[in-house]
Amino acid sequence: MRKAKESRWFAEVEMQVQFFDLDPMEIVWHGRYVKYLEVVRCALLDKIDYNYPQMKESGYAWPVIEMQLRYVGSAVFGQKLKLRADIVEWENRLKIDYLITDADTGKRLNRASTTMVAVDIATKEMCFVSPPVLFEKLGLEPV
């Protein structure tokens, strides 16, 4: 099994599949995985102290402009999942890679990535370089 790209900025969350996440086939509906990504992304952003309230306070919004998901296996009711998010790019955009696995066996169920870009809230203009606040939150010097 190929390992996900890993970074020094990551978060992991465990959760249990709930009944309301299931589709008529009694597996997790494909659209629910987007919610799972948001759960672990927020945990990661909390870890670097730059979640949505801090972004807004810094004057930048970070919309998701691209998302890729690859479904490998199906999750079912009551299954414990491990969600992992790793920041893999930050210079010009914020790219996060995700891995969703069975918490007990480690079997991969989903691999995903999101790309977010900084948008100046005041001007509504996209930034072509990540603002210094992101580098500060990551403990890096701006390029």
Domain span including residue 16: 10-137
- Residue 54 resides in a domain: yes
- Residue 98 resides in a domain: yes
- Residue 3 resides in a domain: no
pLDDT band at 3 (very low <50, low <70, confident <90, very high): very low
- Residue 4 resides in a domain: no
Q: How far apart are CA 108 and CA 130, in angstroms?
A: 32
CB distance 82 to 103 below 8 Å: yes
CB distance 83 to 98 below 8 Å: yes
Per residue in 79-133, pLDDT tens?
999 999 999 999 999 999 999 999 999 999 999 999 999 999 999 999 999 999 9
CB distance 36 to 100 below 8 Å: yes
CB distance 87 to 10 below 8 Å: yes
User: What is the secondary structure of 25-37 as a DSSP string?
Assistant: TSSB-TTHHHHHH
Tokens standing for 37?
A: 């990504």
- Residue 71 resides in a domain: yes
Task: Tokens 């999942």: give the residue.
Answer: 81
- Residue 142 resides in a domain: no
User: Hey, is 64 helix, strand or coil?
Assistant: strand
pLDDT > 90 in the chain, percent: 92
